[in-house]
Amino acid sequence: MSDIRTDDIDLTEEPKLGLGAHAAALAVVCVIALVGNTVATEHTVPQGLVGLIILWVMCMVGMALTKFVPFKLPSVAWISLVGILATMPWTPGSAWILDKVSHVNFLTLATPCLAYAGIAIAKREIEIAKTSGWKIAVVAVLVMTGTYVGSAMVAQAFL
């Protein structure tokens, strides 16, 4: 690993996406999640679509709060807060929101969310991967294979 050079990479650079880019990326994630939700559950496309639109709106409100509120909190905190407030029993329309979002299987959301997280890596990780060469690919394949096989063994043994 001593052949990896990071001296020409700016490790302080933070990736920045605008609200439009986030909206587009989350829309793509919602489309993929809709397909997964339709295949994995008995819910229809319109049922899942309404729930995903509600979740998309909550995410975008949280992202807007992250950008425009004067004190800084991570976007996940704002999005969680929006979701919590929207579904509190005293919030008008919370029963309707809960009913519509209940048609979305949250396990089917994991695949597109993890794919989005993988795509959203910063320039520095790409540069480090380029300088690492083929060795990093071998390590990644072995780690993913080991994780899958280990999970399958645990599931087979205990489930």
For the residues of 19-67, what is the DSSP string, one character each? HHHHHHHHHHHHHHHHHHHHHHSS--HHHHHHHHHHHHHHHHHHHHHHH
Query: 142 pLDDT exceeds 80?
Result: yes
Band of residue 120 on the pLDDT scale cut at 50, 70, 90: low
Instruction: Tell me which residue of 93, 103, 117, 96 sits closest to 29, measured CA to CA.
Output: 117
For residue 14, what are its two tokens? 């933070």
81 SS3 class: helix
Please report the sign of the dihedral spanned by the C-alpha atoms of residue 32, residue 98, residue 53, residue 26.
Answer: negative
For residue 130, what are its two tokens? 């380029």
- End-to-end C-alpha distance for the chain, whole angstroms: 39
Query: 51 pLDDT exceeds 80?
Result: yes
Which position has the higher pLDDT, 29 or 52? 52
Cα–Cα distance, 19 to 26 (Å, whole number) = 10
Band of residue 135 on the pLDDT scale cut at 50, 70, 90: confident
Band of residue 65 on the pLDDT scale cut at 50, 70, 90: very high
pLDDT (average), residues 123-142: 77
Query: 9 pLDDT exceeds 60?
Result: no
In this prediction, residue 110 carries a pLDDT of 83
In this prediction, residue 13 carries a pLDDT of 60
In this prediction, residue 14 carries a pLDDT of 58
Query: 37 pLDDT exceeds 70?
Result: yes
CB 136 within 8 A of CB 4: no
In this prediction, residue 62 carries a pLDDT of 94
